[in-house]
Amino acid sequence: MSKSLSAYKFIAPFLILFCFISMQSTSAQDSLQYAAESHFKNIRQLTFGGDNAEAYFSFDGKWLVFQKTYAKEGIPCDQIYVGKIPESANEKFEPRLVSTGKGRTTCGAFLKDNKHVVFASTHLASEACPPVPDRAKYGNKYIWPLYPEYDIFVSNMDGKITKQLTDNPGYDAEATISPDGKTMLFTSTRDGDIDLYTMDLKSGKTKRITNQLGYDGGAWFSPDGKKIIWRASRPQTESEIKEYKDLLKENLVAPTQMEVWIANADGSQAKQVSKLGQANWAPAYMPDSKTIIFASNHEYKRGFPFNLYTMNEDGSDLKKISRDKGFDAFPMFSTDGKKVVFCSNRNNGGTRDTNIFVADWVD
């Protein structure tokens, strides 16, 4: 989901669904918080300019890791940054680079020690940003590249890579970490489809945990560590299957039809939760490990806006949480459940900028 397919968490590279968003919003419509957003309190904008996305908390709730593209600042494609969350109104958010600044990166997540992050990067293959797909070749369909040059790395807070976790042909990205810090959950094409895998971080042992045809990505553990949640496509008709396989041969996927899925932490008892149509993605469990928060454009046949919603594990009690007219996505709660972070086009002065927002959560 998530700019790789993450990253969602791409998002493709992940690739986020930025291209779905119409720039109809004007500065007059901008707002830091909309009247109907009753679950947000003390909302604060942390970044100003560029594409800032997939911002996720450290386990202690003090830091964020995120990916950023901003040509004006010499960042031509996504790189990974970390920043300490301000504790007072006077404290600034001052992120620093922790990826190499080379190639393209996606989908950062903190390790349990709060001193290291994992992310995927193409820097070993080339220092240049990898080429973006020519969408005209595919009827201007919105597609995500699954760069086979992506591998997953660990970096410390000073930007020094301390370990390479994957070294396989094909796409390895969208990594997240279990609550006990022992297991990495990630997406890979190593076996010919786009599936979820787990890796024991101590032994390096890897296990495939999804096996249905279609994209599986942007996965997270529940706070109690017992379940996983992710976004998935499931091509059904002969033409859908052909299109999916044809794109996959070219290391591409079209993420316009995705639903939220859940399973036990080992991948067993997998089931589809949402049945809303269009793109339902960037899901995460809320602090109770029962309720789900996610981004969706299902209300709008034109493909935008994307807003945040909550629902139960059976898909019931769907509630709309956010109200931006462009893009709200990548929600994540702090471990203590008191704060939520998300990325949005709001308050951007009518530009295409996507920024990071953090708020207190009100039930």
Percentage above 90 pLDDT, the chain:
88
Average pLDDT on 213-242 reads 98
pLDDT at 19: 36
Task: Give pairs for 287-293: CB < 8 Å, separation 24+.
Answer: 287/223, 287/333, 287/336, 287/337, 288/223, 289/222, 289/223, 289/224, 289/226, 289/227, 292/229, 292/260, 292/262, 293/321, 293/331, 293/333, 293/340
Average pLDDT on 249-256 reads 95
pLDDT at 141: 87
pLDDT confidence of 113, banded at 50, 70, 90?
Answer: very high
Q: Over the stretch 11-54, which tens digit does the pLDDT of each residue have? A: 333 333 343 333 333 444 689 999 999 999 999 999 999 999 99
Q: Which amino acid is at 216?
A: D
Average pLDDT on 250-276 reads 97
Average pLDDT on 85-99 reads 97
Contact 81, 118 (CB under 8 A): no
Mean pLDDT across the chain: 92
pLDDT at 28: 43
pLDDT at 210: 98
pLDDT at 30: 83
User: Which tokens in the block code for residue 241?
Assistant: 């299957």
Q: Over the stretch 154-184, which tens digit does the pLDDT of each residue have? A: 999 999 999 999 999 999 999 999 999 999 9
pLDDT confidence of 8, banded at 50, 70, 90?
Answer: very low
Residue 344 has pLDDT above 50, yes or no: yes
Contact 20, 12 (CB under 8 A): no
pLDDT at 10: 38
Q: Name the nearest CA neighbour of 251 among 144, 146, 138.
A: 146
* Residue, of 239 and 14, whose pLDDT is higher: 239
Residue 255 has pLDDT above 60, yes or no: yes
Average pLDDT on 243-248 reads 97
Cα–Cα distance measured from residue 233 to residue 195, given in angstroms and rounded to the nearest whole number: 11
Residue 247 has pLDDT above 90, yes or no: yes
Average pLDDT on 337-361 reads 97
Residue 327 has pLDDT above 60, yes or no: yes
Q: Name the nearest CA neighbour of 89 among 35, 45, 139, 154.
A: 45
Q: Over the stretch 301-322, which tens digit does the pLDDT of each residue have? A: 888 899 999 999 999 999 999 9
Domains annotated for the chain, with CATH where assigned, are 11-361 (2.120.10.30)
pLDDT at 50: 98
Q: Name the nearest CA neighbour of 252 among 133, 123, 78.
A: 133
pLDDT at 29: 64
Percentage above 70 pLDDT, the chain:
92
